[in-house]
Structure 1
Amino acid sequence: MRFGKAVMLALILETMTGGVQAQKATATVTLNVTFVNPSCDITVPDSYNLGTLTLGSKEHEDLKITWHCASEIPLKTALMASIVTGVPQGDDKIRLIVGNKSSGTTLSLKEKGSSSPIKLMGINAQKYFCRDAKESNKKRTCTLTPVTNVSPEGPFGRASATLRFEVGYL
C-alpha cells in the first residue's frame, strides 16, 4: 500500500500527538484595594467673638463655614462638629469655660432656618448637619446661628470653648 506524502505526515503527527492531552492550569490572585475619599478643604473663622453677654438667651450673628472637596465626580457631603475644649451639656450644647472652671454660659449652634441645635458629638457619632441635597463638586457653604444662654451660676469673666468641624461623606 502506498500512501501519499500528506497522508503519511498526518498519520505520523497523529501517532505522535495522540497520547498527549491538554493540561489546564488555574491560579487565584487576591487584589487588595483601598478606596480613599477625596480630600476636602474646610474654612472656618479662626475665632468667633460672641461679644459681651448678659443674663438670658441670645442669638448671635451668623457663623459661615465653607468646604470644597477635590473631586471631579460629584459627591454628597455634610458637616460634623465635636467639642475640643469646654464642658459638654447633653449632645447639643457646650458650657463655656472661664480659666479652667465651667461657667454659667452654654452655647449651641443651629443650622440656618432650623429650630433644633446641631449635635456636637464628633465624627464617630455621624450626626451630620448642612447635608448636601444632591451630589456636587462645587464649593459649599453652611450658615450656623450661635445661641448662648447665660445663667447666674458659675464664674463670670472671659469665657471660651473650642469646636472642631469635619466633612463627612454620605
Structure 2
Amino acid sequence: MGDFFFGLTEWLRTTFLLDWAFWIETTGFNKLLVTNFWGVPIAQVLHIIGIGAAFAATLMLTLRINNMAGMSRSVPEVSARYMPWIWWGLLWIVGSGMLMLWAEPVRNMINGVFWVKMILLVVTVLITLAFQKSVQSAATVGGAGWNAGGGTKATAWLIVILWCLIMAHGRWIAYAPV
C-alpha cells in the first residue's frame, strides 16, 4: 500500500498542484494562518467538531435503520432529525478543511493520501445523497411504519464504513511523506 501512495505522491509532484501549492504559500491568508500560532490548531479543532457531528448523525441514523437504537421514533422522524446534522456537518468539514488546506498547501496538495481521502469523500457524499432520497421517498410511501429493507440497511453501514475510511485517511495525512 505504501508503494501505491509513494507512486501517487511522486506523480502529483509532476502536476500543476505543486505550483499551485507554492502559490498558495505566498498569499497573505496563508501567512496569517501560519504565523498565528493558533491558526492551524483552531482549524483542526473545527474540522474535528464537524466530523464528529456528521459521523455521529450518520451513525444514529444507521443504528435506527437497522433497528438497533431509537426505536421510539420512526425512521422518517430520525431521518428528518439527523440529515440536517449530516449536511451542516459536511459544510463545516469542507470549510475547516479549506482552512487547513490553505495553511499547509504543499503537505496536502501533493499528498496521495489526501487525494484518496477526497475521492472517498465525494463517493460518500454521492452515496449519501442517493441514500437520503431513497429513504425519504420510501418513508413517504410507507409512512411512520416503514421499515428499511436489506439494501437500505447495507447502504447505511457502507456510509459508516466510508466515513471511517475518510477519518483514517485524514489522520494518515500527517504521517505520509511528501
* TM tier relative to shorter chain: under 0.3
Q: In proportion to residue count, which structure has more helix?
A: 2
Which of 1 and 2 has greater Rg?
A: 1
Q: In proportion to residue count, which structure has more strand?
A: 1
TM-score normalised over the length of structure 2: 0.26
TM-score normalised over the length of structure 1: 0.26
